[in-house]
Chain A
């Protein structure tokens, strides 16, 4: 067990920490140059990950990687923004080699915060299509999920659906469900509209959605699907990944919910369905660069991608990976083509628009 080892520095330095904490404050701004130019640590076969993805499937994939390569994987899980803040503050002293998170906006933000370094690997380039990688090789896609329109099979026919823009139509008044604007998924969705249609139209869209709310935003994506089943609303903006999880739940009631809703990929005639991406980046001050690159290569391989997709119902990034049946049944769809960086750039603006329009 790892525990006694973790406690060693504790015992040794508890007194020191308390005694010196006082001095630490005055030294708040002590220059980071002192800490600069640390020599790489002796190569012990390990790789350290800060990740905002907390799925059991991820842990199992890391385990497989360790079994295959003998490289140990250490993981710190947290919220993406907290981890970015931590990486920024740790600077050169960080132990983290990889940063993994969901959402293109967050990845773009991490890039802006200069916590990545480019990764170049032929294998990665072969595994992941160019549009799912950062143009500057700062991060690599790991999985995607589409933000679709879920509809009640009983009360809505798919012919009535067309685009995200159409959701502001009078005919959906009091019928539309969506989660709160604090959700990154919604922020990135609106950010994509700011990029595609401009700020003014994006604001009009958000206002139109608010006007059509069946109820105040409540709960997560699964709850929107349940609200359709309950008859609170007829259509919902939600992620494909949750539809997959509902359909495969241990709870038979949740499976029934999944059976009641249909999946519609909007904007197929125009600029494509909005996609959210999970990505991996090599940290700027990684000490185990080689192992980290190996892990990225593994995570994007057909084997790992198929495993992740089968267990987590996200779309694989590797085009050679087979999708699970359910995802296959939804058919192919046209993806919104956007530089993910723009999602990060417009994130703040989209939050402001949400606040202005009263999207809670």
Chain B
């Protein structure tokens, strides 16, 4: 009886989309499983040492970092999104896009830039010293430790929350907000009674992206000297050469991640706010006098700190080292970075659409798939890398007879020396970025059109291309930009999985920064930023043309 029911469900659900999703989930699950399997091994003496002296501290730091960053990014992101969506003030149009720019600066680049800038030889202290003969206490300006890390993460990751929330407010909440305004509600009341509850899924979604970014971070925390679970994984793996204990720590990280998931579910719940589908953009109200000026200052200060100041500093350093560092090889670097990111992003987007489509059916299977597909984002890059590497090497061994038959030699490493491996690494790590954007897109569309189309006799695939895809355009654009920029900035996977003679701008930057050649790192940093900005601009321009 039960079996029959299951069969019937399967028959209803299974189609080619479903199968492709399953394959994607398997690819992502493999390295994760690989990590989990090592947990069942007997813990060794290193682990006992780690538990005794370090674990409590790691967990405490990680939670503190995640909690504070989450809080501040949510505050900054939502307040800016609300200002820009609902009000008009000087330079609003500029800030609307300008506030996305911090995303183009990888957090580790932001951290080393600020650290050096505020340091003893940095512009502030040296100016005070040389011009005014004043030596400020270096500790006051220091951005080391948790304080500094929260600052960097907040200033350079808040656009995730800002972007998602703003787009939600602009397109989805018009009638609620306008009605509230008509009924005479005060701005603060509208914000707390309407905007916050309404935008909750968007706010939570954006904040969770930020939290995952922080959980998986190695660059900033190691630079600023904070021991988190993620840096401990590196330290255990590389310092103690103990992969198993490192994996065990990764499992602890997973515990936190699962906690975040539950929290997200709790905060987001399955609410549907897309009853009103005639989405008209919200018309901003003009802020006059001091209020308008205040809004301008708020956005301006955030923009200065989170983009303009570090950007100008990097340009100054680039000028200083240009002759020494610049080579024609940078053309190759740009080309390699961009084409790799393009290919990986396209693959991720295609899969995201398929999986999001399958998941819009809200079955327990699709729920599981969506969780698996996005889990890679929360696993630190190096752990994914080792998982992918191990699987590809055994895959190459498995395929050896096939290679031989093709005349490629006895036991060559074909796959694991090609870019395929790196692309798979990106696929695992960044599915969440593409998927979340597109899932929000599907949520926005709702099920009405799809149901109508299906009822009128179109199949799943046809419905998708004729009805859903055109409605998804906006989500696709933002998913593309987010993923593309992420990959251009990505570090640990590229460091570990790239083939011979293949460098990306991020690996080049890291190598300089790691060797404390901060000034030399500026040119490749600027190139990453330029690529990210360009891609945002191109997409925005294209997006406008599509819409009009």
Contacts and interface: CB of A to CB of B under 8 A. Distances in A.
Q: Specify whether A and B are partners.
A: yes
Interface of A: 1-3, 6-10, 13-14, 16-25, 27-30, 32, 34-39, 41, 48, 54-56, 74-82, 85-86, 89-95, 109, 180, 182, 187, 215-223, 226-227, 229-232, 242, 245, 249-251, 253-254, 256-257, 347-348, 351-352, 355-356, 360
Contact of B412 (A7, A79, A89, A93): A93
A221 B518 CA distance: 13
Contacts of B138: 227, 230-232
A54 B336 CA distance: 19
A215 B395 contact: no
A218 B413 contact: no
Contact of B415 (A17, A36, A250): A17
Given A17-B415, A226-B119, A355 B49 contact: yes
Interface in B489-519: 495-496, 498-503, 507, 511-512, 514-517, 519
B501 A347 contact: no
Contact of A82 (B396, B414, B496): B496
Contact of A95 (B386, B392, B417): B417
Contact of B496 (A36, A55, A74, A78): A78
Q: Is the interface of A mostly helix, strand, loop or mixed?
A: helix
A346 to B, nearest CB: 12
Nearest to A29: B394
A9 B423 CA distance: 12
Given A21-B30, A30-B394, A182 B222 contact: yes
29 contacts: A7-B419, A8-B418, A9-B415, A9-B417, A14-B420, A14-B423, A18-B424, A21-B395, A24-B394, A27-B395, A35-B411, A39-B410, A41-B409, A54-B511, A54-B514, A77-B503, A90-B416, A93-B396, A93-B412, A94-B413, A182-B239, A215-B139, A220-B516, A229-B120, A232-B138, A250-B519, A253-B120, A257-B120, A355-B49
Nearest to B336: A3
Contacts of B144: 216, 218-219
A347 B239 contact: yes
A89 B393 contact: yes
B190 interface: no
B535 interface: no
A6 B519 CA distance: 31
Interface in B312-345: 320-321, 324-325, 332, 335-336, 339, 343
Contact of B30 (A6, A9, A24, A182): A24
B400 A34 contact: yes
B235 interface: yes
Nearest to A49: B500
A81 B139 CA distance: 33
Interface of B: 23, 26-27, 30, 33-34, 46, 49, 53-54, 115, 119-121, 125-126, 135, 138-139, 142, 144-145, 222, 225, 227, 231, 235, 237-241, 243, 320-321, 324-325, 332, 335-336, 339, 343, 382, 385-386, 389-400, 409-420, 423-424, 495-496, 498-503, 507, 511-512, 514-517, 519-520
A22 B115 CA distance: 45
Contact of A230 (B135, B145, B412): B135
Nearest to B226: A360
Given A182-B235, A229-B120, A232-B139, A10 B27 contact: no
B49 A352 contact: yes
B23 A24 contact: no
B120 A95 contact: no
B400 A35 contact: yes
A27 B54 contact: no
Given A3-B336, A18-B27, A182-B222, A38 B239 contact: no
Contacts of A32: 397
Contacts of B321: 250
Nearest to A184: B239
A230 B120 contact: yes
Contacts of A220: 516
Contacts of B139: 215, 232
Contact of A251 (B243, B320, B498): B320
Nearest to B23: A18
Contacts of A28: 34, 390-391, 394
B500 A55 contact: no
A249 B317 CA distance: 12
A13 B393 contact: no
Contacts of A187: 239
